[in-house]
Structure 1
Amino acid sequence: MAEWVMGLISVLLCLFEGYCIQSFFGGFAVPKLCRIRNAGWAAGIAWIVIRAFSQGLFSDMDSVSLIIELLFTFCTLFVFCVCWYRGNVLLKIFLAVQFISLRELSFWAGYSLLYIGNEMIEVLVHKAGTSAAEYLPVAAGILSCFGAVLVVATKCALLFVSTRKIAGSYCNKERGRMGKEVLFYLLPSVAGTLVSVLVRLLLITVTDGAPVLLYEKYPVLYLIIPMIALVLLGAIVFSFRIYQNMAALQEERAEKIILENQITQMQGSMVEMEHLYDGVRSVKHDMKNHMAVLQNLIQKKYSGEDEEIRQYFEGMYQSVEQLDSRVHTGNAVSDAVVGSKFRYAAKKVKGIKLDARGFMLSDAVTIKAYDMGIILNNGLDNAIEACMKMREKQPYAEAYITIRSFRAKNMYFIEIENSFDGMALFDKESGLPISTKEDKEVHGIGLKNIRKCAVKYGGDMDCIVKGNRFTLSVMVKS
């Protein structure tokens, strides 16, 4: 009966480990066949199969067999990660090493609790009389099962908490990739795995020709080994969380740099707009003088006077044309930003169609100039970049950028539509497009800043893709 119970406990333990591994791996990587329903559960199923094979192949309980089983488990788990999940090799090494280390340390932290069950059995044997001798095997079996359940429950609790803590601390913008920082992550994990290997090697010693467990020879290890395991578990979890917090701070610093650059650009745009308006006022001021000259020309009566008047009118028209921003949104800052970005787009993308006739700002829209500048600067920068990238792949494709705005009930919408190459990957958590640039810490922040501005005014942001058309829709309360 006790053997059946122990077998059932082993099966339940394997199933729970499968659940933990699929939850842990799913927090870091996406399956290659993500369109298949319940594809994430493949990790749990693979773990159960790996454990079944390893227990069948390495049934001996000597130290060498236990170490070979550990190496076999790591290799097969790593191969599964390479075949099933997207991402680079460093991430897959991290997942395999990290989970095996957490599992081993959780086991050794709970294994010492067998001491409680063994002590209870010894107390039962010493105190039980000869009359109760026939019941001793049953009672000993029950206590053994109790000790095994205690060990398994402790191991499951530690494994569940540690995997959840690490997966929950992961804050990378793009799942499936890790850089050189993985070496820092793996230091405590490798240390924990080596400690586990060392304990496995020394677990069984030979005394007077008979195998003896190290725990029986040195009972103090029932306290020392779980303490070492718990310390290493804490080091793995907290070192990963600390590094992720450092990465988040670095990202905030990068966002701050981007915002400072945007403020500088906005200040330049506002200065440009002020110069433009000063020029318009200057032309208006000199209009009387121009009219006086025209009157004198009209009064002249000599041949060619009509041609001279025509040339003068043409020169005056060109002067006014140069001062006109050609973008009229009803707001000086928006005129400057859109006009500046449109001029830049016309230089970078030949033949691009630019249209802002449908974009108007009224006094009812209470968006501050600073926030409006962030929305337009980031949105137009992304649109121009998308058109440039499309032209690199398709030199003769039609490129365009259109800005429009409209009101629906008490909401005000700003939409920036542009052509692009049709290739867009979206992050499942944020719903934002994933930047294709190598420097992920700096690039890809613009859309987040737009969303922050929209949320600030009780709205939100959405990205809509239809074929080769990309639309950034920003909604705010008017």
Structure 2
Amino acid sequence: MKSVYYAVVFEWITDCILRHVDVQNGIRLTISIFSLFFVGVILFYLDEKRNLMQKIFLCVSFFIIRWLSLEIFTELGFYERDFVFNFKLFRESIPAIVAEYVVSTIVEYGLALLLLFFSIKLLLKTYKNKQEDLSWKELIMLLIPCISIFLATRIIYSYYMLWFDGIENGSIKANIPGNMYRILFCIMAYLTLCVTLYFYQSIKANKEIEYANRVLAKQIEDSKKYVGQIETVYQQMRALRHDTGNHMAVMKGLLETEKYQELRDYLGNWEETYKNIVPSAKTGNAVTDIAISEFVDRFADNGITLKTSLKYPSNVAVNPFEMCVVLTNAIQNAYEASLSVNEPYVEITSVERENVYIISIKNKSDKKAQIDEEGIPISIKNDDGHGFGVRNIREIARKYNGDIEIKQFSENDGLWFVLNIMFVG
């Protein structure tokens, strides 16, 4: 909010300069363009240096929408002025003219403000990608219609200034007339912005669907891989059990001949073979055992402490493959967040009470995550499909009449991020 206040103050000062200081049109245009981009830069630096391109586009869009809102009712005000001057009272009575001017100005600016309010609400509702980083190509694509409209506003402004100069020097006697083409231009310009955002949203939505399909395909492949690993483990366990008699005979022989060192080595090798076969995670479900065990070595190799006491639910009928999607997405996010943290730590716990089952993934974080309007953490990664992991988790939780909860808090040992996932059977 502090960044917004600074930006508002800067824009207000700039607007006062342009309105009340007599400057050349070229300088006025330069200041106008500079102010739009500088407001975006202010918001960028005071808002953790996020989304510079997005902020510039939104600032330019706000300027265009604000101008269009004022211009529409300014043009309608010209028609209203010409209409009231048809009455003798307003042509001859100065108090009546002043009263008409005050009332019309209040109504004009009030309606313009109302239109601006609903326009911004519509923009916030329809433009769902405003939290994401824009590329240079996307920024240029979105700015081209805005720049065209902006240049047209300068042309209309120059037209007004020439008319006012003509009135001052006496070459023009009449007031500025209303012009239906200027009103139509404002309406078409407004529709141009809406259509541009609509098609941009459609392109982004199609890309997200494409990315979601790729993610789904990868998760299906991962599930198949886990099932294949389970089959391998079962075969190795059967082979180990089949050879148990032979192992016992060998160890008995070593014990009877008092070859204790050879016996210790043999037991050590047997234990190592057993550890390599049996998954390190023990959740009570073979699929999730394999899924979590895959992360154990990865965490250990990167010096991340992983503590898990997860137990598969017994009273809540959750599909093992959907549980696998939930756990792998959540643990992957915790893993990535832990890579940039001193003394990283991840804890996975679960609790089950009657028909309610809750998983909690807790990890240390280097900074507080930004949460978007949908309650999804905003990823700092620039690749496509950010936030799909948490979205998939939430979709699966809601399928089982549950939901997710995100908590962030600070303790003496640092900042913590907690993701709670609830399933209701």
TM-score interval, smaller chain: 0.7 to 0.9
Alignment of 1:55 onto 2:30: no
Q: Verify the 8 A CA contact 1:104 1:193 in the aligned structure 2.
A: no
> Do residues 268 (structure 1) and 225 (structure 2) align?
yes
Residue 108 (str. 1) matches residue 62 (str. 2): no
Change (3 A) 1:190 1:404: same
SS at match of 2:420: strand
Alpha-carbon shift at residue 201 of structure 1 (Å): 2.5
Counterparts in 2 of 1:113-262, with a 5 A limit? 113-125=76-88, 136-145=93-102, 147-149=104-106, 151-172=108-129, 174=131, 177-180=133-136, 181-203=138-160, 204=162, 210-212=170-172, 222-262=179-219
Q: Distance in 2 between matches of 1:289 and 1:224?
A: 97
Partner letter of residue 101 of structure 1?
A: I
Matched residue count: 412
- C-alpha change, 1:103 and 1:432, in structure 2 (3 Å) is closer
Change (3 A) 1:313 1:281: same
Deviations 1:323-368 (A, max 9, x none): 222322110111111112213333x325x54433x22114213221
Quote the Cα distance in structure 1 between the aligned partners of 2:204 and 2:2.
25
Give, in angstroms, the shift of residue 271 of structure 1: 0.9
Q: Which residue pairs with 2:299 in the alignment?
A: 345
Q: 1:145 to 1:301 in 2, by over 3 A?
A: closer
2:373 aligns with 429
Give the TM-score taking structure 2 as reference length.
0.80
Measure, in 1, the Cα distance between the counterparts of 2:174 and 2:319. Answer: 72
Query: Match for 2:289 among 328, 335, 351?
Result: 335
Q: Normalized against structure 1, the TM-score is what?
A: 0.72
Residue 82 of structure 2 is aligned to residue 82 of structure 1: no
Q: Aligned partners of 2:96 and 2:125: how far apart in 1?
A: 43
Matched, 1:451 2:394: yes
User: Relative to structure 1, is the Cα distance of residues 354 and 198 closer, same or farther in structure 2, using a 3 angstrom cutoff?
Assistant: closer
| Structure 2: stretches of 5+ with no match in the other structure | none
- Counterpart secondary structure, 2:86: helix
Distance change >3 Å, CA 168–CA 213, structure 1 → 2? farther
Structure 1 residue 265: deviation in Å? 1.5
Residue pair 2:85, 2:91 contacting (<8 A) in 1 also: no
* Alpha carbons 2:403, 2:423 under 8 Å: kept: yes
* Aligned residue identity for 1:446: G
| Structure 2 Cα separation of the partners of residues 133 and 320 of structure 1 | 100
Matched, 1:355 2:276: no
Residue 182 of structure 1, CA deviation: 1.9
Label 1:426 to 1:116 Cα distance change in 2 as closer, same or farther (>3 A): closer
**Inter-partner Cα distance in structure 2 for 1:122 and 1:153:** 22
Letter in 1 for 2:405: M
Alignment partner, residue 236 of structure 2: 279
Aligned partners of 1:100 and 1:133: how far apart in 2? 35
**SS of alignment partner, residue 403 of structure 1:** strand
* Distance in 1 of aligned mates of 2:99 and 2:380: 60
State the SS of the aligned residue for 2:351: strand
Change beyond 3 A, Cα 1:251–1:281 = same
RMSD value, Cα? 3.8
Larger Rg: 1
Distance 1:249 1:100 in 2: 29
**Residue of structure 1 in register with 2:419 after alignment:** 472
* Partner deviation per Cα, 1:382-422 (whole Å, 9 max, x = no partner): 233334333xxx5xx4x4443322234643222233455x3
SS of the equivalent of 2:215 reads helix
Deviation at 1:138, TM superposition (A): 4.5
